[in-house]
Structure 1
Amino acid sequence: MYKMNKTITFLTALLLTVMGYAQENDKTPDTQVEPQDTAVEANEGYKKDTVNNFKRIKLDGVAAVVGDYVILESDIEKTLIDLRSQGASTEDITRCGLLGKLMEDRLYAHQAVQDSILVSDDEVNSTSERQLQSLVSQVGSIEKVLKFYRKNDEESFREELFKINKLRMLSEKMQQKIVGEIEITPEEVRQFFNKIPTDERPVFGAELEIAQIVKEPAAPEVEKQKVIDKLKAIKADVEDNSASFSVKAILYSQDPGSKSKGGFYSMTRQTGFVKEFKDVAFSLREGEISEPFETTFGYHIIYIEKIRGQEVDLRHILIAPEIPQKAMDAAKVELDSVRQNVMDEKYTFAEAAQNFSDEKETKFDGGLLRNPTNFDSHFELTKMDPTLYNQVRNLKDNEISQPILEEDPRGGAPKYKIMKITNRYDEHEANFSKDYLKIQELALRDKQFKAIEKWMSEHIEDTYISVNKDNKGCDFANNWVKQ
């Protein structure tokens, strides 16, 4: 159940789940109260062929109604096609299962409205704009986007994108309200584990613990000043000569995530940008350009294009100071020396990390890396980031890698590092003490799932729901037919 729900939830949240294919009948009503039979007997339900015989065709109909939301038969088909087009396995996903998931999403959204859970139009529009900008950057132009999704004009595309995002965001907020405050105690974790039959306990894959020591070559002050002067000149040209900030970003910015979009980002204080960037962005007025400022990625200037409540549309230019080869070579030589001293047992790898590593996040923890999914120190081999896996896959126990040059894909400065596998864990049956964090996660997920089940059962009873007669035979996980 978890696997199927997770797969469907992720893929049906894709921004164009029900937009990928053109409507066969643009006049299909989208606000019917009772489901209609999908086969229509009226004249418009038939089409003449070349020999004057009538050929019956099937028009789009209503599969189900949940509160104020209608699910069309075509929505189910489009969702299934979209899952396949995204490369997802649909082997275990049935048409009835998809309909049930679409009904769940509508019930969440319907109840969110009843509970006065708000999703502002600005919030939805901002999300839609980011998605549209991303699509344009991928395919090259808005015209290509419209052609790919078979839309006649940008306005209709934006309207449908707005509807999809509104429903999705309402659904997500409702789910978060249901499970957001659920916590799990150590005793509940123990009881959850003890209830699992011995022969059914989960098996965790082979895992590694990895430590690293990082040297980040520093740019000389003269190179830093060159960048600051260049950014000041760009700022002056925009302010004094009405030059285009967007064009300047395309020409000069080194940020791979925004360069092609003229440096554009839309963000809130919760957006995952570094603190220094957010502090400057939210200190500026609309139309203002910042002075050059530094982050771990280099030096920036920010232009505030629009402020919408807690959200800002901005453009920025990032330029990183040039790091001379001499500094790169010196970092590598230093790591070579550190590596040799650890191998000669002059100090341990953990001591070397604390004294010599430039990476603040790991140096005081013996260089130990943390898994970004749960902040545990274990990395399951089958789920590791491919880049990290390739860096350590050939390392033997107690071996330390040669210095590895690593480019920052986000535009930051390159760095050298040496790595060591500090522990290996073979594939094994779950052990309560050794795998507590994983078992805790499973127990919490189980408790949340039960809360969702209870909520579903209660609100299905209290909500107007109607299922087309052709779909009443589905073996739904929830009591949508209310038998």
Structure 2
Amino acid sequence: MRRFLTILLLLVPGLLRAQSPADDRVLDEIVAVVGNELILRSEVDAFLAGYLQQQRIPYSDELWLEALNQLIDQKVLAEHARRDTTIQISDDRVEQALQERLNQLMQQVGGQTRLEEIYGKTLTQLKAELREDFREQMLAETFRNRKLQQIRITPSEVRAWFEQFPTDSLPTLPDLVRLSHIVRYPRPSEKARQEAFEIASAIRDSIVSGRSSFEDMARRFSEDPGSAAAGGHIPDTRLADLVPEFAAVAARIPIGEISQPFETPFGVHILRVNRRQGDLIDFNHILIRIDESQADPSEAIAYLEAVRDSILQYNIPFGLMARRHSEEEATAAQGGRVVDPRTGERDLVLSALDPTWQRTIDTLEVGEISHPAEAVLLDGRRAYHIVRLDRFVPSHRVSLETDYARIEQLALQEKRQRVLRQWLNELRQSVVIRLAGKARELAERYPDKIVTSTLAQR
């Protein structure tokens, strides 16, 4: 954890100096010892810095102690997990988790080269230094999840939790809907496809001739928002995580060669594979999207009308038809059910949906299926769909009768936090925890903010 947090600290330069006026006096110190493990002040500072930056709130000593508490909790959990011989974290799992996190960091800072420049080490060296820190983190998480799975809540506990709130303080929910849909994308016109291929070919010619670098052309022309700023670079990625059309080219193209333009559902690409190791590839690509405004929707509309007629005339389950015929993979796999991509909730706020959805839903009664209509999907793509209104809950004050599932989740979340905190405090009693430096000073000022073991003398 120590070295991993150092990387995070380096990614937010200047933030800690702005937050902590004492930086000029003390750059680092040991602030806690948990068993045989040290926690440095820089670790706590880095952990807290990310939180402050994300939440956009000012530094406080109490928040610093809370960050220290979380780091102590992780080390206590890891220590107990090591004592539990039934918990084993394989090297493969550690390697996978570490690679995924490094991929995220590389995307944030602009690629592998930039990350190596920031830290002054090669990716191989970073992996070697961070591997055991990740193992500790995974041990702690596994041990904690075992406890979480044991915590349940009964209907009577849900009711008791809800009834503690005065009726006039309960929030009013807006109109909520549950929806299922079947999606078809209009096929781009041949003219639009040809234009995209011509642009990609011209870009490739400029790169191959040496007039421009791949990275420069990606920054100028690529329409992939996730990689354009990094020169089209996407670090180690599994072939299985790529769409089949892209994976087929990436698997066979010689290392360092620039591919001919090829098409995927996202548009037209050119690709350069930098490194291939097993099923992992490191590559740069440039995406030119096909102009959707030139697409002909008639085929998609006719297809959806036929699907709707089959459902209504032959009583075929909507979910079955969605799995067979919807081109939106995420909802098709769930029988067409639409969920909030941020929360996974099925209840969607009607007023928050795109106007194209609202116009379609306004014509439906619960259980009805719309005719094909144009829509801006939740991922921003334009398509046509038929929609079934599965549920409509008008604006109302929260109640157990209409919102039991939502209330149950909130009550369970509160119970889990309470039980976990009590459990963690008990676990701390069997691990020697000593505070020092800034931690000791703040713990004496805020004696109720931190729990140490009875085994240690502070």
TM-score, with normalisation over the residues of structure 2?
0.62
- Compared with structure 1, are the counterparts of its residues 110 and 312 closer, same or farther at alpha carbon in structure 2 (3 Å cutoff)? farther
Whole-Å separation in 2 of the counterparts to 1:158 and 1:442 = 47
Residue type at the aligned position of 2:441: D
Residue type at the aligned position of 1:406: V
Whole-Å separation in 1 of the counterparts to 2:252 and 2:414 = 40
1:247 shift after superposition: 3.5
Contact 2:182 2:385 in 1 (8 A): yes
Contact 2:239 2:279 in 1 (8 A): no
2:361 matches 1:392:
no
Residue type at the aligned position of 2:14: Y
Note the 1:285-434 alignment, pairs <5 A. 286-287=255-256, 292-307=261-276, 311-323=280-292, 325=294, 327=296, 330=298, 359=328, 362=331, 368-372=337-341, 377-379=346-348, 388=354, 392=358, 396=362, 398=364, 406=376, 414-416=382-384, 422-425=390-393, 426-430=396-400
Corresponding position of 1:131: 105
2:36 matches 1:65:
no
Q: Secondary structure at the match of 2:178?
A: strand
Note the 1:198-277 alignment, pairs <5 A. 198=160, 200=162, 205=173, 207-212=176-181, 214-221=183-190, 223-224=192-193, 227=196, 231=200, 244-269=213-238, 273-274=242-243, 276-277=245-246
Find the partner of 2:448 among 468, 475, 478.
475
2:142 matches 1:177:
yes
Contact 1:64 1:71 in 2 (8 A): yes
Note the 1:5-16 alignment, pairs <5 A. 15-16=8-9
Between 1:13-22 and 1:307-316, the stretch displaced more is: 13-22
1:442 shift after superposition: 6.5
- Compared with structure 1, are the counterparts of its residues 459 and 212 closer, same or farther at alpha carbon in structure 2 (3 Å cutoff)? same
Find the partner of 1:154 among 93, 118, 122.
118
Contact 1:466 1:481 in 2 (8 A): no
Whole-Å separation in 1 of the counterparts to 2:126 and 2:219 = 27
1:264 shift after superposition: 0.9
Residue type at the aligned position of 1:64: A
1:261 shift after superposition: 1.8
- Compared with structure 1, are the counterparts of its residues 305 and 68 closer, same or farther at alpha carbon in structure 2 (3 Å cutoff)? farther
Whole-Å separation in 2 of the counterparts to 1:13 and 1:405 = 45
Note the 1:103-118 alignment, pairs <5 A. 103-107=72-76, 117=89, 118=91
Whole-Å separation in 1 of the counterparts to 2:253 and 2:205 = 17
Question: What do the CA deviations read for 1:127-154 (whole angstroms, capped 9, x no partner)?
Answer: 44652553459xxx97xx99xxxxxx83
1:429 shift after superposition: 3.4
Residue type at the aligned position of 2:33: V
Question: What do the CA deviations read for 1:17-61 (whole angstroms, capped 9, x no partner)?
Answer: 99543787xxxxxxxxxxxxxx9xxxxx9x9xxxxxxxxx67754
TM-score, with normalisation over the residues of structure 1?
0.60
After superposition, the CA RMSD in angstroms is 5.9
1:252 shift after superposition: 4.1
2:163 matches 1:194:
no
Identity %: 19
Residue type at the aligned position of 2:142: K
Contact 2:162 2:407 in 1 (8 A): no
Whole-Å separation in 2 of the counterparts to 1:352 and 1:101 = 43
Residue type at the aligned position of 1:98: A
Indicate the structure with greater helix content.
2
Corresponding position of 1:34: none
Contact 2:98 2:131 in 1 (8 A): yes
Whole-Å separation in 2 of the counterparts to 1:428 and 1:58 = 51
Contact 2:107 2:227 in 1 (8 A): no
Residue type at the aligned position of 1:312: I
Contact 2:81 2:140 in 1 (8 A): no
Corresponding position of 2:14: 21
Between 1:314-323 and 1:256-265, the stretch displaced more is: 314-323
Q: How many residues align?
A: 416
Q: Secondary structure at the match of 1:178?
A: helix
Whole-Å separation in 2 of the counterparts to 1:393 and 1:62 = 61
1:288 shift after superposition: 5.1
Whole-Å separation in 1 of the counterparts to 2:418 and 2:260 = 49
1:86 shift after superposition: 3.1
Residue type at the aligned position of 1:102: L
Question: What do the CA deviations read for 1:100-122 (whole angstroms, capped 9, x no partner)?
Answer: 11322444567789988558789
Whole-Å separation in 2 of the counterparts to 1:394 and 1:477 = 54
Question: What do the CA deviations read for 1:348-372 (whole angstroms, capped 9, x no partner)?
Answer: 9x97996997646557988542344
Corresponding position of 1:8: none
Whole-Å separation in 2 of the counterparts to 1:418 and 1:73 = 56
Consecutive unaligned residues in structure 1, runs of 5 or more: 1-11, 25-38, 40-44, 48-56, 147-152
Corresponding position of 1:96: 65
Residue type at the aligned position of 1:86: Q
- Compared with structure 1, are the counterparts of its residues 19 and 312 closer, same or farther at alpha carbon in structure 2 (3 Å cutoff)? same
Question: What do the CA deviations read for 1:276-309 (whole angstroms, capped 9, x no partner)?
Answer: 5456545656435556554321233432212356
Corresponding position of 1:87: 55
- Compared with structure 1, are the counterparts of its residues 459 and 135 closer, same or farther at alpha carbon in structure 2 (3 Å cutoff)? same
Question: What do the CA deviations read for 1:443-466 (whole angstroms, capped 9, x no partner)?
Answer: 599679857965774476246654
Q: Secondary structure at the match of 2:223?
A: coil
Whole-Å separation in 1 of the counterparts to 2:48 and 2:265 = 43
1:314 shift after superposition: 1.0
Contact 2:235 2:283 in 1 (8 A): yes
- Compared with structure 1, are the counterparts of its residues 113 and 305 closer, same or farther at alpha carbon in structure 2 (3 Å cutoff)? farther
Q: Secondary structure at the match of 2:430?
A: helix
Contact 1:253 1:259 in 2 (8 A): yes
Contact 2:52 2:59 in 1 (8 A): no
